[in-house]
């Protein structure tokens, strides 16, 4: 058998939630390998994403080094964690964590804009994203939500079902009716396919909006209990990765591309040219689906 040469890489940035997990957990396995990174799952169902990209997130560890060596890895492979290193023993890949900088999203400091100005921001972002991701995920809902319903959305039964539930959520948010709001949100869990189904990405965008910008959604009381119910349901009814991301969103945290988008809708802080590439690049359709969740939170009831 050919000897495998030892490979050493490093982590230059790591999310605060990922760091907390790595400081406690010692053994995990590879859940999945993609062109963008490696998903690591622990025995307690917590997850960390070893990313080949530079986008930061609460569960993300950004790698430096030659990623070609990760072709040695396979799903189900064991991962061992030490004080300042991550080891893939079967493949002789070692990742140093000694010089990594811990990342967490800064708290918003800008003032929120008025609902009329926000509606213009939402319309511009929704229509531009729709043109880029037409036909993917929940994209057909974007123009309809801002009053421009495409023909092919009218006969889409999945679209119609989501639309009815979204109207329920918007009304429940407006009056702060938490029990039915929690139940309606939970009905989205697991809807769709893949590691993060479209329904889950929708929930992520919605929860991130409500929790990061709780000052805007002041009518929603007892957020801690509300979040706890949804997170517990996520770990029971959808994928492990989705549940981890939903848990982060309930803490007002997410990938920096989603943070940028939700802050833009709240404050108008960014230009569309900054926000759109990030949303488009977050998963295949995940950024689109998360945007639908954000819009559900931020759109005024009388927007039409």
Biggest CA pair distance of the chain? 69
DSSP class of residue 70?
G
Condensed to tens digits (0 to 9), the pLDDT of residues 237-281 reads 999 999 999 999 999 999 999 999 999 999 999 999 999 999 999
Is residue 218 within 8 Å of residue 304, measured between CB atoms? no
Average pLDDT over residues 167-195: 94
Nearest in space to 201 (alpha carbons), one of 238, 176, 229? 238
Nearest in space to 245 (alpha carbons), one of 187, 196, 291? 196
Residue 150: pLDDT band with limits 50, 70, 90: low
DSSP class of residue 174?
H
Give residue 1's pLDDT: 37
Condensed to tens digits (0 to 9), the pLDDT of residues 36-67 reads 999 999 999 999 999 999 999 999 999 998 88
Is residue 230 within 8 Å of residue 250, measured between CB atoms? yes
Question: Which range has the worst mean pLDDT, 114-123, 229-238, 250-259?
Answer: 114-123
If you average pLDDT over every residue of the chain, what do you get?
91
Q: Which two tokens stand for residue 31?
A: 């859940």
Average pLDDT over residues 203-223: 95
Average pLDDT over residues 214-222: 90
For 284, counting Cβ atoms within 10 Å of its Cβ (0-12 exposed, 13-18 middle, 19+ buried), the class is middle
Give residue 304's pLDDT: 46
DSSP strand pairing (93-96 vs 7-15): parallel
Cα gap 251→124, rounded to integer Å: 28
Per residue in 37-57, is it b (16+ CB within 10 Å) or e — as a string? bbbbbbeeebbbbbbeeebbb
Give residue 155's pLDDT: 44
Cα gap 141→156, rounded to integer Å: 10
Q: Above 50 in pLDDT, residue 233?
A: yes
Per residue in 175-189, is it b (16+ CB within 10 Å) or e — as a string? eeebeebbebbbbbb
Residue 161: pLDDT band with limits 50, 70, 90: confident
Percent of the chain with pLDDT over 70: 93
Give residue 3's pLDDT: 55
- For 278-297, the DSSP string reads HHHHSTTTHHHHHHHHHHHH
Find how far residue 71's CA is from the centre of its chain: 26
Cα gap 271→264, rounded to integer Å: 8
Average pLDDT over residues 69-80: 92
DSSP class of residue 16?
H
């Amino acid at each position: 058998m050919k000897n495998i040469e030892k490979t050493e890489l490093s982590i230059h940035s790591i999310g605060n939630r990922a760091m907390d997990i790595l400081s406690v957990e010692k053994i995990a396995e590879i859940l999945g390998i993609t062109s963008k990174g490696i998903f690591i799952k622990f025995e307690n169902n917590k997850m960390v994403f070893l990313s080949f990209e530079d986008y930061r997130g609460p569960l993300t560890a950004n790698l430096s080094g030659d990623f070609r060596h990760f072709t040695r890895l396979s799903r189900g492979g064991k991962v061992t964690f030490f004080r300042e290193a991550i080891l893939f023993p079967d493949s002789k890949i070692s990742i140093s964590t000694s010089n990594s900088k811990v990342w967490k999203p800064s708290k918003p400091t800008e003032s929120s804009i008025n609902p009329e100005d926000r509606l213009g921001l939402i319309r511009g972002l929704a229509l531009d994203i729709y043109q880029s991701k037409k036909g993917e995920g929940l994209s057909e809902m974007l123009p309809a939500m801002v009053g421009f319903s495409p023909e092919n959305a009218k006969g889409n039964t999945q679209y119609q079902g989501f639309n009815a539930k979204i109207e329920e959520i918007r009304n429940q948010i407006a009056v702060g009716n938490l029990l039915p709001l929690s139940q309606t949100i939970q009905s989205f869990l697991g809807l769709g396919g893949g590691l993060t189904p479209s329904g889950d990405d929708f929930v992520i965008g919605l929860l991130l909006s409500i929790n990061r910008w709780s000052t805007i959604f002041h009518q929603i009381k007892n957020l801690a209990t509300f979040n706890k119910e949804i997170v517990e349901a996520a770990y029971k009814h959808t994928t492990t990765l989705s549940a981890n991301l939903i848990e982060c969103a309930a803490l007002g945290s997410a990938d920096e591309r989603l943070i940028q988008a939700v802050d833009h809708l709240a404050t108008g802080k960014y230009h569309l040219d900054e926000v759109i590439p990030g949303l488009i690049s977050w998963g295949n359709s995940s950024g689109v689906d998360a945007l639908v969740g954000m819009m559900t939170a931020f759109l005024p009831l009388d927007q039409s």
